[in-house]
A and B are shown apart, each in its own frame.
Chain A
Amino acid sequence: MWACRQRGKKGLNTGIPTTNGILFGPTQSRKTYLSMYAHRGPLRKGNPNKNRWLSTFPPPAEYGLFCDADDSDWRDEKGNYWGIHDGGRTIIGCRDAVIAKFPHRQNPTDPWHGYPVPEDDANRDRWPSITFIEGWIKAGIVSRTIGRRLQRTPT
């Protein structure tokens, strides 16, 4: 289900462990992706990092989501990519997160990375804009019901 559809160097589609995470890629547009260890593991009390993928959404799924965002050009005006799985019906991150952000890289040679964004962590840098989500609704990526819910999340 989450197998990456891109063909690259041997090992890069199943992921190569590095010190910071598991490296995937390249995608069709020649991007590499790092599933970072910092956004994995259980959410513990007192741990400020809320942006963690669920264990049910493993690194290959995370990379698959990035491939979808890259292939579909789900990119905002600031160069960030945004991902959503199963039309927003499946939770991918802690605190019921259904959306992922893949922030714009400062250095083009760095691999991309990403993390889930829960609605209660939404702010103007950490949530897709209303017009961006409207694009998802119009393209049928999310239903109108889920899209409006995402648009009504205050930032």
Chain B
Amino acid sequence: MKVSSVFVPGSFEDAWIYMGHLVVLTQDLSIQFYPLEQIASAIETSYGEHNPVVRLMFLRNDWLSGETMAYIARNAVIQAEIIHAFDKFPQPFAVLDTDLRPIAEYGLHVSASVFLDFFLYGGRCYFATDAGIFHLDVDWHVVPSLTRGSPEKRSDATCYTISAKYGALMASCGSDGLYGYIDEFGSSSDFNLANGRRLAEKSMKIAWADTSFINYTSNATMDVLRATLSSVSPAGRRPESEKKVMTRIEQDDIDLTGIVTRDIARRGFELDEVQFAFNSNSNLFLRVYSGEVFVFTIERVNNMLTLRRSRQMFAMPSRILSMHFGANWSVLETTDSVLLFADRDLTTIVERGVLSVRTYPRSRRYRSLVSIVHEEGVQVAGVFDESAITVNP
């Protein structure tokens, strides 16, 4: 794996890559939009227009991993040139000229003092804050503009994390509970349940596993909620081109906490020794305070989610804060680093703690990108799996 990064200086709190833009929340509580095309052009001007890395890595990930590229790179000279271009890209990053201004910036006039999470979905910006959840509709044509002047308040409880999929928004509000906003965009003609419903009494975070999701009620205790999906009606809005939207959600009977408890007991650990747990669609990862990291494969039996026996992955001396998933790799945020885990190897991307980390596995053009917000700016890192062009199909 090769990692190439671009650094955009600024005082940011969080960042997303969405609809051709780098969207950042600033420390002054405004939202800024930087077109990725302009960032790429500025980097090409500064570091050499003929280096294809910028375009392949930051604008068109689909070209890099596509069959066309694999075919072209069967030519050994072209293959060597592409790899050489990645090798000569500035490390640890190419710095964007600070003269580049955002194409648009809007003040966020909300009653909150701190933004705790930020999520973009269905063309909408969601903000989790100490004063509740807010959303802001953006018209993304050419220059992003706001369809309303200020964010709309959705709830009052402090919200820590937000996640959205299948047209539904899930908000984890700690001991205030888990709130679900189903059919957020009125995509199904039969349902319009956009008002928040309390789905669980406690929620630290959630993570999707196909059509179910796991609600983490502490470091190690978890419940499974299962969604019922319906096709989007012909007239319905399709957030992120979803073919189906969630119309119903219910608690699964499976005792995932019990499965984890029994599994780690055979390794000599108790549940309260778990420091971190999180899941992708297919795996559940768990770190204990002594540093060992275990992975469980997630399976479906009779449409119910369950776990196979765990296996040990590696030891991680630092506390894991978050985990993010890419195409065939994942990114771990720890208290003092950001690490890429790929091909059973850990590679350091950042050697200190950061403000936020995001990946875009559902994006076509940006699925190889990781955005990492530091106190001094945002680093957009592109992960290139060279085996995509060096291994003959």
8 Å CB contact of B354 from A130, A131, A145, A155: A145
On chain A, the number of residues with a Cβ less than 8 Å from chain B's Cβ atoms is 20
**C-alpha spacing A107/B352, complex, angstroms:** 44
Contact of A76 with B by CB under 8 A: no
**C-alpha spacing A155/B319, complex, angstroms:** 19
Contact of B289 with A by CB under 8 A: yes
Give chain A nearest CB distance to B207 CB in angstroms.
14
Contact of B286 with A by CB under 8 A: no
Are A120's CB and B275's CB within 8 A?
yes
Chain A residue numbers with a CB within 8 Å of B335 are: 149
Known A96-B275, A120-B218, A130-B158; contact A145-B204, beta-carbon cutoff 8 A: no
8 Å CB contact of B219 from A120, A123, A130, A148: A120
Interface residues of A (CB under 8 A from B): 45, 50, 95-96, 120, 123-124, 130-131, 134, 143-146, 148-149, 151-152, 154-155
Main secondary structure of the interface of B (DSSP, over half): loop
Q: A50-B272, A95-B289 are in contact. List 7 more A-B contacts (CB 8 A).
A: A96-B319, A130-B158, A134-B113, A144-B27, A145-B354, A146-B353, A154-B203
Q: How large is the interface on B (under 10, 10 to 19, 20 to 34, 35 or more residues)?
A: 20 to 34
List 12 A-B residue pairs with CB atoms under 8 Å apart, sorted by A's residue number: A95-B289, A120-B218, A123-B175, A130-B114, A130-B158, A143-B353, A145-B354, A149-B335, A149-B353, A152-B160, A154-B172, A154-B205
Contact of B270 with A by CB under 8 A: yes
Are B204's CB and A154's CB within 8 A?
yes
**C-alpha spacing A144/B12, complex, angstroms:** 10
- Identify the 10 closest CB pairs spanning chains A and B, nearest first: A154-B174, A130-B130, A154-B204, A154-B160, A120-B219, A145-B353, A155-B174, A96-B319, A152-B116, A144-B375
Chain A residue with the shortest CB-CB distance to B204: A154
**C-alpha spacing A117/B241, complex, angstroms:** 44
Contact of B355 with A by CB under 8 A: yes
**C-alpha spacing A27/B321, complex, angstroms:** 36
Interface residues of B in 328-383 (CB under 8 A from A): 335, 352-355, 374-375
